[in-house]
Amino acid sequence: MKVAVMPGDGIGPEVTREAVRVLEALDLPGLTLLEGDVGGIAYQRHGHPLPAETLEIARAADAILFGAVGDPACDALERSLRPEQAILGLRSELGLFANLRPATMFPGLEALSALKSEIAARIDLLIVRELNGDVYFGEKAIETLPDGRRRGRDLMSYAEDEVRRIAHVAFRAAQGRRKRLCSVDKANVLETSQLWRDVVVEVAAEYPDVALEHMYVDNAAMQLVRDPGRFDVVVTGNLFGDILSDQASMCVGSIGLLASAALGERQTAHGTFGLYEPIHGSAPDIAGKGLANPMATILSAAMMLRHSFGREDEAARIETAVSRALADGVRGHDLGGAAGTATIGEAVLERL
Ligand code: IPM
Ligand code: MG
């Protein structure tokens, strides 16, 4: 069980530290932790946000526990040297195309949701976001036109095999849940989305037990706040998934609670190689102050135990410990409370 720990920037190191403490407390036989620099800190130390040696460590591991990247001090750097390239590079270099972002209401937190409590109470959904394609990885440029005006462009594209493989992941996930899949696109305007929709329909033939619906992304954004309980599994492209998952987090109450897994095809001894990270960013405004909620990262470690190491029992123990801590009133600053990073980590450990 080789885990590459990549704390990154801002609050990344603080929240990752607590997740590592939880992992260590489980006393798992064979757990080995390696550490790699990513993001702005890696640029400072090695001149690149994703240094070759970090990529090497990632490749040698069975799973990656990732904190966050992003540093305003790097905003002026050319894009290829900015911290975000670390996570984008890991996702693409390691073929981590399937991003699982669950959003579930924790009992007791309903009143903290941005939505009305009775609506928020019903949230139990999984966003399956494609992670290796779309406008994220298409040709991009800021160019100067012959008349002197500047123009920015980013190519949106999906090949059918890219859509097919993420569709399979989503259908299988739906089979393990309430058997409902909503594919989100913008097929009324975009050809990329039309192909997406056509391919999802083709794949659906192999999953007759799953009820498939299609929804335009603008409508999906609306339904997500109107009645999030109507969603089971949502499958969508890279850009729409990025936006909808942040939105889903506020429906649950805080972005400090949402974990994620990025999975590819490579198998490990007991599961699938993957990268696990909170969906929040580096939050430079509160970095180093011990204010960040580490729960999303702790829950990401639970996902790692489940998907990469086949340790369902320990994964569930961590999740139960987090939900008990919340039920007992442990509240980080993100949830209107006063508990700091280490206090929250401690509270989870006590309940493990
Ligand atoms: C996320 C983040 C990243 C993304 C950034 C940091 C590149 O917002 O994981 O959702 O856009 O994918
Ligand atoms: Mg995002």
Interval 2-22 mean pLDDT: 98
- Which residues lie below 8 Å from residue 178, measured CB to CB, with a gap of 6+? 232
pLDDT of residue 58: 98
The DSSP annotation for 4-70 comes to: EEEEESTTHHHHHHHHHHHHHHTT-TT-EEEE---THHHHHHHSSSS-HHHHHHHHHSSEEEEEE--
Q: Average pLDDT in the 87-109 region? A: 96
User: CB neighbours of 350 closer than 8 A, spacing ≥ 6?
Assistant: none
Q: Report CA(331)–ligand 1 centroid distance (Å).
A: 25
- At residue 254 the predicted structure's pLDDT band, cuts being 50, 70 and 90, is confident
Q: Which residues are paired to 151 by β-bridges?
A: 143
- E strands of the chain, at which residues? 2-8, 32-35, 63-68, 98-104, 124-130, 140-144, 150-154, 180-185, 211-216, 233-236, 259-268, 271-278
For the chain, first and last CA: distance in Å? 20
Q: Assign 253 a pLDDT band (cuts: 50, 70, 90).
A: confident
Determine the 3-state secondary structure of 206 from DSSP: coil
* Residue range 144-175, pLDDT digits in tens: 999 999 999 999 999 999 999 999 999 999 99
At residue 199, does pLDDT exceed 90?
yes
Return the pLDDT at 340. Answer: 97
Cα separation, 352 vs 349, in Å, equals: 5
Neighbouring-strand partners of residue 153: 141
Tell me how far apart the alpha carbons of residues 340 and 334 are, in angstroms, rounded to a whole number: 10
Q: Which domains does the chain have, with CATH numbers?
A: 1-96+263-352 (3.40.718.10), 124-251 (3.40.718.10)
* Cβ–Cβ < 8 Å for 113, 253: yes
Q: What is the mean pLDDT of residues 231-251?
A: 95
Closest atom of ligand 1 to 260 CA is 9
Q: How many CB atoms lie within 10 A of CB 295?
A: 31
DSSP 287: T
Q: What 3-state DSSP class applies to 126?
A: strand
Arithmetic mean of pLDDT, 28-50: 97
What integer pLDDT is reported at residue 324 of this predicted model? Answer: 96
Average pLDDT over residues 96-111: 94
Ligand 1 neighbourhood includes 262 CB (under 6 angstroms): no
pLDDT grade for 138, boundaries at 50, 70 and 90:
very high
pLDDT of residue 299: 98
Q: Is the predicted pLDDT of residue 255 greater than 90, yes or no?
A: no
Residue of 242, 243, 277 to mutate, ligand 1, most atoms within 8 A of C-beta: 242
Q: Is the pLDDT at 69 greater than 90, yes or no?
A: yes
- The protein residue with its alpha carbon nearest to ligand 1, atom 6, reads 84
Q: Give me the residues paired with residue 32 across strands.
A: 2
Enter the tokens of residue 67.
């904190």
Q: Is the CB of 154 under 6 A from ligand 1?
A: no
Catalytic residues: 136, 186, 218, 242, 246
Average pLDDT over residues 174-190: 98
- Distance between CA 346 and CA 352 in Å, rounded? 10
- Percentage of the chain surpassing pLDDT 90? 96
Looking at the CA of 247, which ligand is closest? 2
Looking at residues 316-345, what average pLDDT do you find?
Answer: 96
Mean pLDDT, all residues of the chain: 97
Query: Taking 90 as the threshold, does the pLDDT of residue 179 lie above it?
Result: yes
DSSP state of 132: S
CA of 71 to the centre of ligand 2 (A): 15
Around Cβ 165, how many Cβ atoms within 10 Å? Answer: 18
What is the Å distance from ligand 1's center to 242 Cα?
Answer: 7
**Percentage above 70 pLDDT, the chain:** 100
Model confidence at 303, pLDDT cuts 50, 70, 90, reads very high
What is the spatial distance between Cα 85 and Cα 90, in angstroms, rounded to a whole number? 8
> What's residue 105's pLDDT?
94
Identify the pLDDT of residue 329: 95
Contacts of residue 103, defined as CB under 8 A and 6 or more positions apart, other chains included, come to 123, 124, 125, 126, 127, 228, 245, 248, 249, 251, 252, 258
Residue pair 87/304 in contact by the 8 Å Cβ criterion: no
How far does residue 350's CA lie from ligand 2's centre (Å)? 31
